């Protein structure tokens, strides 16, 4: 007999409790419990069993053959890179991102570009005609790409067994529904259960499965954190709506590095791979203007040159404004305090606006020096030559600090035709100067920067 009962789930870790509790004993978070209805004691025969015919038994690790991990080349360098060099058999990959960022486009495009593999694209969000329209827009025909509009996991498993695809795409995990749990699609218990079923499917048949997942307002993947533990890889699609480019970041990866980054540009016929990101983040202009400085950055493992733009003006009203895009406002305040205290600039009565060109969000501290240079340049109203790059962190005492992989940053600047690069003097010993033609200027303090630029 099927019986329904109410249970409470932790929104953060998926912990289950028969009654509401304030503090989750699983993860220690407060106020995360929500009520859901589940059905228990259902006829077990209803279950579509996800099993292959092979019997699994324990074997000695020495007997496991050393086959090289096979990876499917997705014919998309950026996605391959983010996954750690291609798609691993049997892996479960969660692709997160805000609505409209391009998750469906990216995965449909991958599916259409791989005619040598049989691909099952399951959509619970769009009709077959809508998907066909998107495919037309991308402009590729592929007979081997099957579109299924279904949300019931039992049906999906049934179709999986008849079609026997090489790759499965689920759009999206929040629309899936398993009859074993009575809650509505998108609820914690549904997400937890359906993701577990998809994982079992991937592992049993060694078929890679992509799960598309929505992102909540605070930036996390909707559903319990446990979802991120269940999958092998989590990648996140980000980007500013107002700019065409999109960034794919690895958050977790059992088969590769998590510091990888893929860059795309949304065009009228789908996403274009950007193999040379610097072209995107440097604005083309002939005459240098004040308030602009270029940083030699590393995002993931890739070097790229990015423009920082500052505008410093006299504050119209009492409290000066500080405003940033693509940069941490607290870090800007810190850098302004350093300028004020260590180099005697009076910026406290000035409005300061800072913008990282292209709207990319930057974490690399090596951008500090370029940020300071652009602020000083705007304040003095003296342009910095667009042939100069910057790469160093700035410390609280106004010292210019060394950054990692300086040789890569210098090489990238040189490759793009920069004539000078300003770095920390503490980075000098890490550099083989005989190999570089670009002029290297080593700085010790913020005052050195000022003198080098304007004295």
What residues make contact with Mg ion under the rule CB under 5 A? 104
- What would the two tokens of residue 234 be? 């989590």
- Among the listed residues 5, 132, 137, 433, the single contact to ligand TYD using CB under 6 A: 137
- Residue 349: name the closest of 368, 336, 361 by CA: 336
- The answer to the question of residue 102 lying near ligand TYD (CB under 6 A) is yes
Partner touching 207 among ligand TYD, Mg ion, none, CB below 5 to 8 Å by kind: none
Dihedral of alpha carbons 117, 122, 128, 134, sign: negative
Contact pattern from residue 309 through residue 338 relative to ligand TYD, giving x for each residue in contact according to CB under 6 A and a dash for the rest: ------------------------------
Closer CB to ligand TYD, 216 or 333, in the complex? 216
Partner touching 105 among ligand TYD, Mg ion, none, CB below 5 to 8 Å by kind: ligand TYD
Closest separation between CB of residue 177 and ligand TYD, Å? Answer: 19
Closer CB to Mg ion, 110 or 421, in the complex? 110
DSSP 180: T
Closest separation between CB of residue 99 and Mg ion, Å? Answer: 7
Contact pattern from residue 68 through residue 97 relative to ligand TYD, giving x for each residue in contact according to CB under 6 A and a dash for the rest: -----------------------------x
Closer CB to ligand TYD, 88 or 107, in the complex? 107
Residue 406: count of CB within 10 angstroms of its CB: 23
User: Is 95 in contact with 237 (CB distance < 8 Å)?
Assistant: yes
The residue with tokens 């999986």 is: 160
Closer CB to ligand TYD, 212 or 371, in the complex? 212
Partner touching 186 among Mg ion, ligand TYD, none, CB below 5 to 8 Å by kind: none
Closest separation between CB of residue 248 and ligand TYD, Å? Answer: 12
- The answer to the question of residue 105 lying near ligand TYD (CB under 6 A) is yes
The residue with tokens 């700035």 is: 394
3-class secondary structure, 399: strand
Rounded to 5°, the CA angle 446-408-388 comes to 45
Closest separation between CB of residue 424 and Mg ion, Å? Answer: 45
For the chain, the straight-line distance linking the first and the last C-alpha, in angstroms and rounded, comes to: 86
Closest separation between CB of residue 360 and ligand TYD, Å? Answer: 19
Q: What are phi and psi of 242, to 5 degrees?
A: -85, -10
Size of the site for ligand TYD (CB under 6 A): 15
Closest separation between CB of residue 109 and ligand TYD, Å? Answer: 8
Q: Which residues contact 319 (CB under 8 A, 6 or more apart)?
A: none
Closer CB to ligand TYD, 134 or 387, in the complex? 134
Closest separation between CB of residue 223 and ligand TYD, Å? Answer: 16
What torsion do the CA atoms of 229, 231, 234, 237 make, to the nearest 10 degrees? -120
333 φ/ψ sector (left φ>0, alpha ψ -120 to 50, else beta): alpha
Partner touching 101 among ligand TYD, Mg ion, none, CB below 5 to 8 Å by kind: ligand TYD
Closer CB to ligand TYD, 130 or 258, in the complex? 130
Closest separation between CB of residue 241 and ligand TYD, Å? Answer: 9
Closer CB to ligand TYD, 140 or 315, in the complex? 140
Closer CB to ligand TYD, 126 or 452, in the complex? 126
In the window 262-301, what residues touch ligand TYD (CB under 6 A)? 266, 268-270
Partner touching 379 among ligand TYD, Mg ion, none, CB below 5 to 8 Å by kind: none
Closer CB to ligand TYD, 214 or 401, in the complex? 214
Rounded to 5°, the CA angle 187-192-196 comes to 145
- Among the listed residues 87, 93, 101, 282, the single contact to ligand TYD using CB under 6 A: 101
Q: Which residues contact 384 (CB under 8 A, 6 or more apart)?
A: 288, 290, 292, 293, 373, 374, 377, 453
* Rounded Cα gap, residues 144 and 156, in angstroms: 17
Partner touching 278 among Mg ion, ligand TYD, none, CB below 5 to 8 Å by kind: none
Q: In what side-by-side order are the strands of the sheet with 3-10? A: 16-17, 3-10, 33-40
- The answer to the question of residue 103 lying near ligand TYD (CB under 6 A) is yes
- Give the start-end residues of each E strand in 156-290: 167-171, 209-214, 233-238, 245-253, 261-267, 270-273
* Rounded Cα gap, residues 20 and 16, in angstroms: 10
In DSSP terms, 423 is beta-bridged to: 391, 442
Closer CB to ligand TYD, 222 or 367, in the complex? 222
User: Is 212 in contact with 103 (CB distance < 8 Å)?
Assistant: yes
Closest separation between CB of residue 399 and ligand TYD, Å? Answer: 44
- What would the two tokens of residue 244 be? 């065409």
- The answer to the question of residue 104 lying near ligand TYD (CB under 6 A) is yes
Closer CB to Mg ion, 131 or 388, in the complex? 131
Which parts of this chain interact with ligand TYD (CB under 6 A)? Answer: 97, 99-105, 134, 137-138, 266, 268-270
């Amino acid at each position: 007999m099927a019986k329904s009962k109410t249970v409470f789930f932790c929104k953060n870790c998926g912990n289950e409790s028969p009654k509401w509790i304030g503090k989750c004993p699983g993860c220690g978070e407060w106020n995360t419990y929500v009520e859901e209805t589940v059905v228990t004691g259902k006829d077990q025969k209803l279950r579509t069993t996800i099993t292959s015919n092979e019997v699994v038994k324990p074997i000695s690790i020495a007997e496991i053959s050393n086959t090289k991990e096979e990876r499917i080349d997705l014919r998309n360098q950026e996605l391959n890179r983010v996954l750690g060099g291609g798609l691993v058999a049997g892996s479960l990959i969660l692709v997160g991102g805000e609505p409209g960022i391009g998750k469906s486009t990216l995965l449909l495009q991958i599916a259409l570009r791989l005619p040598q593999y049989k691909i099952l694209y399951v959509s619970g969000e769009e009709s077959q005609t809508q998907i066909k329209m998107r495919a037309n827009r991308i402009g590729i025909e592929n007979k081997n790409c099957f579109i299924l509009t279904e949300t019931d996991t039992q049906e999906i498993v049934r179709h999986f067994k008849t079609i026997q695809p090489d790759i499965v795409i689920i759009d999206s995990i929040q629309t899936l529904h398993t009859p074993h749990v009575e809650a509505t699609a998108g609820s914690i218990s549904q997400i937890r259960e359906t993701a577990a079923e998809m994982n079992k499917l991937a592992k049993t048949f060694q078929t890679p499965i992509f799960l598309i997942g929505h992102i909540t307002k605070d930036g996390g993947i909707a559903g319990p954190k446990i979802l991120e533990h269940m999958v092998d890889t989590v990648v996140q699609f980000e980007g500013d709506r107002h700019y065409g480019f999109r960034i794919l970041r690895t958050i977790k990866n059992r088969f590769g590095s998590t510091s990888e980054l893929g860059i795309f540009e949304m065009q009228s016929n789908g996403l274009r791979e950007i193999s040379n990101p610097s072209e995107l983040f440097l604005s083309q202009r002939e005459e240098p203007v004040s308030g602009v400085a270029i940083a030699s950055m590393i995002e993931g493992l890739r070097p790229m040159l990015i423009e920082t733009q500052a505008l410093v003006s006299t504050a119209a009203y009492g409290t000066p404004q500080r405003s940033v895009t693509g940069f941490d406002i607290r870090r800007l305040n810190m850098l302004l305090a350093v300028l004020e205290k260590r180099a005697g600039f009076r910026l406290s009565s000035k409005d300061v606006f800072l913008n990282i060109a292209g709207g990319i969000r930057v974490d690399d501290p090596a951008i500090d020096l370029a940020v300071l240079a652009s602020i000083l340049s705007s304040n003095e109203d003296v342009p910095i030559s667009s042939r100069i790059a910057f790469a160093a962190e700035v410390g609280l005492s106004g010292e210019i600090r060394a950054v990692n992989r300086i040789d890569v940053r210098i090489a990238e600047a040189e490759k793009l035709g920069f004539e000078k690069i300003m770095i920390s003097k503490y980075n000098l010993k890490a550099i083989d100067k005989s190999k570089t033609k670009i002029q290297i200027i080593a700085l010790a303090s913020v005052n050195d920067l000022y003198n080098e630029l304007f004295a």
